Amino acid sequence: MSPPITDRKRSALGKEAIVSTSTATSKSAQIDVRGPRFGAWITTVVLAVVLITGWWPLLALALIAALLDAAVGFCLGCEMYLLLNRTKTIVGATR
């Protein structure tokens, strides 16, 4: 197996960083975009419900889910999509 192709990039702070282009390409090829897209849709619906009803505890739950995704990389919406896809409750979901 050949070593990954690297490229030197200068960051906004002026420091040089080595970015591996082949691992980013292979990793992005493995990600199913339907999960994050479903998570974004759920987030939009939750925020609309909060704005319409004024039920602010729901916003706190959405913020906790966003913090989980940012801190640990656990996408709650993506996991909901996978769970619903396994039970075949999403219309048009193929496996």
What is the DSSP-derived secondary structure letter of residue 14? S
Looking at the fold, whether 71 and 40 belong to one and the same domain comes out as yes
Residues 6+ apart with CB under 8 A from 3: none
Looking at the fold, whether 41 and 68 belong to one and the same domain comes out as yes
Q: Is 73 left (phi over 0), alpha (psi -120 to 50) or beta?
A: left
Model confidence at 32: pLDDT above 90: no
pLDDT at 88: 77
Looking at the fold, whether 45 and 80 belong to one and the same domain comes out as yes
Residues 6+ apart with CB under 8 A from 85: 93, 95
**What mean pLDDT do residues 30-36 have?**
82
Looking at the fold, whether 78 and 48 belong to one and the same domain comes out as yes
Q: Which domain holds residue 26?
A: 1-30
Looking at the fold, whether 25 and 49 belong to one and the same domain comes out as no
Q: Report yes or no on whether pTM surpasses 0.75.
A: no
Tally the domains of the chain.
2
Model confidence at 24: pLDDT above 70: no
pLDDT at 13: 53
Model confidence at 21: pLDDT above 70: no
Looking at the fold, whether 38 and 81 belong to one and the same domain comes out as yes
